[in-house]
Amino acid sequence: MRTAILIIVITSDHFGFTLYLKQPHPTSSMFPFYSYTRPNSLSVRIVFFLLVLVLMILPATGSSDSTKLTVAVVDVLRPNHTWTGLIDARKGTHVHGMADLKRYLRRFGYLSDQPPPENSNFTDSFDDEFERALISYQKKLGLPETGALDHATMRAIASPRCGVQDFDFHFDLAHGGGGKLKATTRRYAYFYGHPRWVRPPPVVLTYAFSPDNMIDYVSPLDLRAAFSRAFARWSDVIPVNFTEAEEYSAADIKIGWYRGDHGDGEVFDGVLGVLAHAFSPENGRLHMDAAERWAVDWKAEKSKVAVDLESVATHEIGHLLGLAHSSVKDAIMYPSLSPRTRKVELQVDDVEGIQALYGSNPNYRYDARVESDISSSSGRRRVGLGLGLGLILAAVAGGAFFS
């Protein structure tokens, strides 16, 4: 059933802020894409103006997601049913499924897998070690550090994400962690030792797709174009260029789609969950989970679990270049990505992180979008800014309408 509710979306783009009416696209009913039209007719303008008035009296608490997504976002978390009893569990409790969560936190570097046998068989008890790991997870993911399995934390855990670990637990232990993970800064991060590609300038890295490990439902042209755009976003900001190699075996960067255990110790897990992984410099391997439904053309893709290929490619290239996961939610290097979500633009955090490793591309200039990110570190504040400008626009529109 199609909703008749019109939603006002305030978007920011290179040309400043614009008000649009958001309405379901007529060609799609189940997971509607939204088309954006400027209000023209008198009646629509009346509705539009009234809705702006409503927005004026609402607090600016909306999510920033609608300001930047170019495809509809469908909330299809894949909650593990054995975890549902864990919501709001706190230290000292004993809840079925806790051991699974401990394995999850160990998988991404928050709990030690050494020395056995202490942690080889996790129990279901919410103990001190689990609480410390959970707080580190919350800090890293930019969540409130409650130390409890609150809704936001469970939602983050249930979100599809990159398979690269958020921490190197052993490195942390060896560098003063003392069994407790160090506080991380809420920004970009590097792998242990800050590895980067060391080549004489001008640096050109070659990439190639595995002849034997590809997907066949995305056209090779679309697939190559998506990766080309993803590489270009990084080469725009650093003095490193990328070209596709003729020969796979000789390429610096090797890209392929793999299923399950594919021989590098990083097992893929089927639909959603872990989406992809890549290795730090100068390894060059970039692996996508072949079990995902990868999408480039969102007009044609209907699957509610489809994942934006270009977004994930951009993120994984960041790893190939030496960036680890960031705690900045809007950053490309944030570890998770919802299905049907497009997130391809480098943010200030990504740019600062990669330029600290490689220096700046001499042709790089902050554009208007990045400037707006500099002046506003949180999406919520950006929506607030949009509302502020919405007030001005409403005043102008109202003045024009009533004159």
Residues that bind Zn ion (CB under 5 A): 162, 164, 264, 266, 287
Whether 149 contacts 86, CB under 8 Å: yes
Q: Is the peptide bond before 131 cis (omega within 30 degrees of 0)?
A: no
> Other CB atoms closer than 10 Å to residue 258's CB: what's the count?
21
Q: What Rg do the C-alpha atoms of the chain give, in angstroms?
A: 23
Closest CA to 226 of 305, 320, 335, 342: 342
Nearer to Zn ion, 266 or 350 (CB): 266
Which CB atom, from 242 or from 257, has the smaller least distance to Zn ion? Answer: 257
Give the nearest distance from C-beta 262 to Zn ion in angstroms. Answer: 5
CB-based burial label for 314 (10 Å; 0-12, 13-18, 19+): buried
Spatial CB neighbours of 312, under 8 Å, sequence gap ≥ 6: 162, 275, 276, 288, 294, 337
Note whether 148 and 192 are within 8 A (CB). Answer: no
Residue with tokens 């949180």: 378
Count CB atoms within 10 A of the CB of residue 195: 16
Whether residue 12 contacts residue 382, with contact meaning beta carbons closer than 8 Å, is answered with: yes
Whether omega before 239 lies within 30 degrees of 0, making that bond cis, reads no
Residue 266 beta carbon to Zn ion: minimum distance, rounded to whole angstroms: 5
176, HSE (Cβ side, Cα atoms, 13 Å): 2
**Closer to Zn ion at the Cβ: 106 or 287?**
287
Nearer to Zn ion, 264 or 371 (CB): 264
Determine phi and psi for 93, rounding to 5 degrees.
Answer: -90, 165
Closest CB to Zn ion among residues 287, 382: 287
DSSP code of residue 211: T
Cα separation of the two ends of the chain = 39
- Please indicate whether residue 118 is annotated as part of the active site: no
User: 206: which 2 tokens?
Assistant: 């070659």
CA pair distance 123, 121, nearest whole angstrom: 6
Helices and strands, counts by H and E, the chain: 10, 10
Q: Which secondary structure element, helix H or strand E, spans residue 138, and what is its range?
A: helix 128-140
C-beta of 225: minimal distance to Zn ion in Å?
Answer: 22
In the set 118, 247, 316, 371, the catalytic residue is 316
C-beta nearest to Zn ion: residue: 162
Q: Between residues 60 and 189, which has the closer beta carbon with respect to Zn ion?
A: 189
Closest to Zn ion by CB, 19 or 162: 162
Helix, coil or strand: residue 158: helix
Between 287 and 293, name the residue whose CB sits nearer to Zn ion.
287
Q: Active-site residue numbers? A: 316
